[in-house]
Amino acid sequence: MPRIISPDTPETALTDHSEHNAKIFGSPKDRLDFYRREIQYETSILANRTDAYLTAQSFLVIAFVSGMGNLNPEWGKLFTLIVPLFLALLGILSSLNAWPGIRAAYDIIDHWHFKQSQLLHSEPVMGLAYDESPLFSERESSHKGYRKSLLFSVRTPWIFMVFWILLGAYAFYIQVDNPGS
């Protein structure tokens, strides 16, 4: 039965399955390799999602600016009132839509880092194979370190959502505030 191990998991629940884990993973090194591969895989998924999201947002910004620059005397005023607002709404919706996938990848990476950290704390001898210093220092395997590196991906949808709200409000304001031009 699959389980998720969290900081609140009792220590007895972790030690009850050590024999089972030994059968799945040949050694602590195998477990560490598995955790690192999972972290790398999920990090690449997060990077791909962030790249796709940023690409979509950049095309929306280009379309928005092009729509605001419409100077057609017959229908340009109505066009610059409606189209940029729809593009801003699309930007907001795509930000809301991208957030769950980006957050899920972040949570999975967090889970695998936690498991790796627990393994490194429970098997301190792993790093002593070649020298007297640990393979991973506390700084390298701490939550704070990798979380800072993932903040860009996690914050980007919210930053763009605020950007689209402000840009949409501004586009509406300049069209309604100056109706004669």
Q: Which of 15-19, 23-27, 40-44 has the highest mean pLDDT?
A: 40-44
CA neighbor of 146 nearest in space, from 177, 115, 100, 101: 115
CA gap 94, 55 in Å, rounded: 12
Residues in the chain: 181
pTM over 0.75: no
Q: Please tell me the least confidently modeled range out of 22-26, 49-53, 107-111.
A: 22-26
Tell me the pLDDT tens digit for each residue of 113-127: 888 888 877 776 665
Mean pLDDT confidence for 139-167: 84
Average pLDDT, the chain: 81
pLDDT reported for residue 130: 37
Q: Where are the domains of the chain?
A: 26-125+135-177
Q: How confident is the model at residue 13 (pLDDT cuts 50, 70, 90)?
A: low
| Cβ atoms of residues 109 and 150 within 8 Å | yes
| Alpha-carbon gap, residue 80 to 60, rounded angstroms | 15
Enumerate residues 6+ apart whose C-beta is below 8 A from 20: none
